[in-house]
């Protein structure tokens, strides 16, 4: 079901959605990257969304008219995050603009789930280059201001917001923001690089420990019938998301301190047709090679089994680095 990203035009992606009313689309390369164009067979009632994985919790949603990114981080410098010692807090932040330009040609909206380096470190540069709107908490935005993010593109949210984007096209999409929490760990339920930076813009973050969590958010992105729920960490607030019914939910390995994380998330989201594994790669390894499971292959298989047991009708999608799936 997942195709290796192939920049050679034209590529046709048809009949990949197990459902009804999917638009038939032809994808063609343009100067700005891959563009999706509806054919005359298209059913206007259902949009088509091309979902591409850029490692960690970095996802690109592309429709005929818009590109939405979640936690777009592709610079991937080594930190030791998946070693027994964990990430070295003193690791200097690197922003590889050439890598960002290569893999992330476009963005209209950028959604930030929390402030850790593997989620936001590339966003200031990317926002400046693309002109995209960036959603995040006061802390996330302050950290990005300190990294020269363009002030007038920053949209501060707290959870509870419901916004419509691309209002001047016939294919608007909506984003709902929900309050959440980062997964915690250890004997005392502590969050790695926890804390907030309200008020004053802090000194420019230099080391990964400077990019504090700063509150966590989850997002429901609805492209008009095809919708996705994403949390950047293995946690969520059940009462905040009560009643949502996404087409697909992202789930990551981990969450050992979150009771019945997988089962409760599937139940809270109505046992969605698709479950997509996210944030499962050891990001000390290159994005341009197949993903190396951070917790070992067994952790990924355990996640697949848990999803199958809790929601047997859901299709489990394992999309590899730079591959995509068309909904
Ligand atoms: Zn994190």
CATH number at residue 192: 3.60.15.10
Please, what is the average pLDDT of the chain?
A: 88
Residue 109 forms part of a structural domain: yes
The percent of residues above 70 in pLDDT, for the chain, comes to 86
Residue 4 forms part of a structural domain: no
Residue 279 forms part of a structural domain: yes
**123-130 vs 138-145: helix crossing angle, rounded to 10:** 80
Q: What is the pLDDT of residues 14-71, one digit of tens each?
A: 334 433 333 333 333 333 334 444 444 444 566 799 999 999 999 999 999 999 999 9
Q: How far is the CA of 116 from the centre of ligand 1 (A)?
A: 5
Q: Which residue has the higher pLDDT, 138 or 167?
A: 138
What tokens does 217 get?
């958010």
- Over range 179-189, report the average pLDDT: 93
Q: How far is the CA of 132 from the centre of ligand 1 (A)?
A: 23
Q: What is the pLDDT of residues 280-303, one digit of tens each?
A: 999 999 999 999 999 899 999 999
User: Max Cα separation, the chain?
Assistant: 59
Separation of alpha carbons 268 and 175, rounded Å:
18
Residue 13 forms part of a structural domain: no
Range of the domain at 272: 52-326
What tokens does 90 get?
């003193």
- The total domain count for the chain is 1
Contact between 235 and 274 (Cβ < 8 Å): no
Residue 26 forms part of a structural domain: no
Residue 8 forms part of a structural domain: no
Q: How far is the CA of 280 from the centre of ligand 1 (A)?
A: 13
Q: How far is the CA of 219 from the centre of ligand 1 (A)?
A: 15
Q: How far is the CA of 255 from the centre of ligand 1 (A)?
A: 12
Give the global pTM: 0.87
Q: How far is the CA of 213 from the centre of ligand 1 (A)?
A: 7
**Residue 226 C-beta-side C-alpha neighbours within 13 Å:** 25
Residue 14 forms part of a structural domain: no
Q: How far is the CA of 10 from the centre of ligand 1 (A)?
A: 38
Residue 20 forms part of a structural domain: no
Residue 51's alpha-carbon distances to 59, 137, 217, 223, in angstroms, are: 7, 25, 20, 12
**Residue 202 C-beta-side C-alpha neighbours within 13 Å:** 18
Q: Which one, of 276, 272, 267, lies nearest residue 304 by Cα? A: 276
């Amino acid at each position: 079901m997942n195709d290796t990203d192939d920049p050679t035009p034209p590529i046709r992606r048809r009949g990949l959605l197990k459902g009804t009313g999917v638009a038939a689309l032809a994808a063609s390369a343009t100067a700005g990257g891959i563009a999706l164009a509806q054919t005359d067979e298209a059913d206007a009632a259902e949009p088509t969304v091309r979902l591409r994985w850029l490692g960690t919790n970095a996802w690109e949603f592309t429709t005929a008219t818009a590109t939405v990114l979640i936690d777009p981080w592709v610079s991937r410098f080594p930190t030791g995050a998946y070693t027994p010692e964990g990430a070295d807090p003193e690791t200097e932040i690197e922003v590889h603009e050439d890598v960002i330009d290569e893999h992330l040609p476009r963005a209209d909206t950028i959604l930030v789930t929390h402030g850790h380096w593997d989620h936001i470190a590339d966003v200031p540069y990317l926002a400046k280059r693309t002109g995209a709107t960036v959603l995040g908490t006061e802390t996330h935005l302050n950290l990005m201001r300190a990294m020269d993010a363009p002030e007038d593109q920053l949209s501060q949210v707290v959870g509870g917001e419901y916004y419509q984007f691309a209002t001047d096209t016939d294919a608007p999409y909506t984003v709902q923001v929900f309050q959440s929490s980062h997964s915690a760990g250890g004997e005392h339920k502590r969050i790695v690089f926890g804390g907030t930076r309200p008020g004053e813009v802090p000194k420019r973050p230099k080391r990964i420990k400077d990019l504090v969590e700063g509150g966590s958010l989850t997002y429901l992105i609805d492209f008009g019938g095809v919708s996705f729920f994403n949390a950047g960490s293995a946690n969520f607030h059940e009462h905040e998301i009560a009643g949502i019914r996404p087409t697909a939910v992202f789930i990551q390995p981990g969450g050992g301190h979150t009771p019945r994380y997988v089962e409760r998330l599937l139940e809270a989201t109505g046992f969605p047709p698709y479950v997509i594994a996210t944030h499962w790669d050891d990001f000390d390894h290159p994005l341009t090679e197949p993903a190396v499971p951070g917790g070992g292959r067994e952790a990924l298989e355990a996640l697949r089994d848990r999803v199958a047991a809790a929601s047997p009708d859901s299709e489990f999608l394992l999309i590899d680095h730079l591959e995509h799936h068309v909904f």
